[in-house]
Amino acid sequence: MKTIRIGTRKSKLAVWQADYVADLLEADGFTTEKVLIETKGDKIQDVAIAKIGSKGVFTEELEALLKSGEVDIAVHSAKDLQSSLPDGFDIIAFSERAFIEDVIVSEKEIDLSSKDLVLGTSSTRRIAALKHFYPHIQTIDMRGNLQTRISKMQSGVCDGLILAHAGVHRMDYDHLVKVKLPIDAFIPPVGQGCIAVEAHRNIDAEKKQHIYQKVNNSGVEKQLLAERAYLKKLEGGCSIPVFAFASLEDDNIRLKGGIFSLDGKDRIIYELLGKDPVNVGTSLANKVLENGGMEILKEIKKHLG
């Protein structure tokens, strides 16, 4: 029997994702073994992600294990992966995708028109979107794993949290969902709702083929290739409020994406239809950049220093 060693972060959600992939892989003579580690993003809880640095916050330590061969694959939330992977690394499978939208979770009813509403989030995209659509809503920076953030909310730090529905669902917190934010306004970040499998080029070829066959969803792969090409062109990371979501229409890919200014006042958004995922993503990014996105991006980078 061949054993596939899976590297993952220690949070309950990360372990759930690793177990999900492991269940798919344990067939046809393959077993799995989990290797749990802490990443920089897990260790630093009192600083906003944007201030830690947006590249490799949740992946660097796992990639070191991949390169050394201590693990065969790393399992991530696709939205946590930087737009450009280090040399020698690839995403070799994209899982099925579900619950892509953002939601507001709370133990009380949420009135988005209330001027006293305080929501917790550490996402620059979510903060900018709130400032754009609901400028009266206050936000408070909220870090930590899902359980930690919910505990902080329950202690009264904020009225509710804006979270990815996928993680909320996987951790059985659907009963706390009070608002599902419409994706035409709150377009999710690249990769939300999908689990990505990362590997180094030194991975055993038989293992790589097995992983692709058992985990990869070809339709989601097209979506993510388009979204990630868009993100790569914009050099987007955790500190940049960019967004993109691809859907499939017959043999075509429809990609809708854009960028917010940090204060939420400016929102540039376009969509394109095409057949080649990477071309669609790159072309949409160029359109956004040529129509005001470049100026917003420069201002954001100047602000971030």
Residue 243 lies in a domain: yes
Among candidate residues 42, 102, 238, 256, the one labeled active-site is: 238
Residue 282 is part of a domain; what is its CATH number?
A: 3.30.160.40
Q: Using the predicted structure, report yes or no on whether residue 47 has a pLDDT greater than 80.
A: no
Among candidate residues 143, 208, 228, 267, the one labeled active-site is: 143
158 is catalytic: no
Q: What is the mean pLDDT of residues 110-129?
A: 95
Residue 89 lies in a domain: yes
pLDDT tens, position by position, 233-261: 997 666 889 999 999 999 999 999 999 99
- For position 39, what pLDDT does the model report? 61
- For position 56, what pLDDT does the model report? 52
Among candidate residues 80, 97, 159, 256, the one labeled active-site is: 80
pLDDT tens, position by position, 145-158: 899 999 999 999 99
Check whether residue 92 and residue 198 sit in a common domain. yes
Q: How far apart are CA 226 and CA 233, in angstroms?
A: 11
Among candidate residues 9, 79, 170, 207, the one labeled active-site is: 79
Q: Are 62 and 198 in contact (CB under 8 A)?
A: yes
Residue 35 lies in a domain: yes
- Whose tokens are 């754009």? That residue is 132
Residue 1: CB partners within 8 Å, gap ≥ 6?
29, 30, 31
Residue of higher predicted confidence among 25 and 304 = 25
- Secondary structure E strands in the chain: 2-9, 30-37, 73-77, 89-94, 102-105, 118-120, 138-140, 160-164, 177-180, 195-200, 242-249, 252-260, 267-274
Check whether residue 206 and residue 238 sit in a common domain. no
Among candidate residues 149, 207, 208, 267, the one labeled active-site is: 149
Check whether residue 30 and residue 153 sit in a common domain. no
Give the rounded percent of residues in the chain with a pLDDT score beyond 90: 81
Q: How far apart are CA 7 and CA 61, in angstroms?
A: 10
Check whether residue 106 and residue 252 sit in a common domain. no
pLDDT tens, position by position, 53-102: 444 556 788 999 999 999 999 999 999 888 889 999 999 999 999 999 99
Q: How far apart are CA 67 and CA 81, in angstroms?
A: 17
Q: Six-digit token pair at 107?
A: 């133990």
Check whether residue 91 and residue 107 sit in a common domain. no
Residue 244 lies in a domain: yes
Q: How far apart are CA 51 and CA 53, in angstroms?
A: 5
Check whether residue 252 and residue 288 sit in a common domain. yes
What's the chain's length in residues? 305
Check whether residue 91 and residue 204 sit in a common domain. yes
Residue 222 lies in a domain: no
- For position 57, what pLDDT does the model report? 53
Residue 185 lies in a domain: no
**Lowest-confidence segment of 93-107, 207-221, 291-305 by average pLDDT:** 291-305
Q: Using the predicted structure, report yes or no on whether residue 291 has a pLDDT greater than 80.
A: yes
Can you state the angle between helices 218-234 and 277-288, rounded to 10 degrees? 30
Q: Are 114 and 143 in contact (CB under 8 A)?
A: no
Check whether residue 286 and residue 160 sit in a common domain. no
pLDDT tens, position by position, 1-11: 899 999 999 99
97 is catalytic: no
Among candidate residues 126, 170, 208, 256, the one labeled active-site is: 126
- For position 82, what pLDDT does the model report? 86
- The domain containing residue 129 runs over which residues? 102-180
Residue 114 is part of a domain; what is its CATH number?
A: 3.40.190.10
Q: Using the predicted structure, report yes or no on whether residue 276 has a pLDDT greater than 90.
A: yes
Residue 226 lies in a domain: no
Residue 221 lies in a domain: no
Check whether residue 88 and residue 108 sit in a common domain. no
- For position 49, what pLDDT does the model report? 43
Check whether residue 243 and residue 298 sit in a common domain. yes
125 is catalytic: yes
67 is catalytic: no
238 is catalytic: yes
Q: What is the mean pLDDT of residues 100-120?
A: 97
pLDDT class of 143 with cuts at 50, 70, 90: confident
What's the number of domains the chain is made of? 3
Instruction: State the chain's mean pLDDT as an integer.
Output: 91
Check whether residue 109 and residue 67 sit in a common domain. no
Q: Six-digit token pair at 66?
A: 């991949």
Q: What is the mean pLDDT of residues 6-21?
A: 95
Torsions phi, psi of 106, nearest 5?
Answer: -165, 165
Among candidate residues 9, 97, 125, 222, the one labeled active-site is: 125
126 is catalytic: yes
Q: Using the predicted structure, report yes or no on whether residue 304 has a pLDDT greater than 90.
A: no
Q: Using the predicted structure, report yes or no on whether residue 23 has a pLDDT greater than 80.
A: yes
Check whether residue 86 and residue 129 sit in a common domain. no
Q: What is the mean pLDDT of residues 209-222?
A: 98
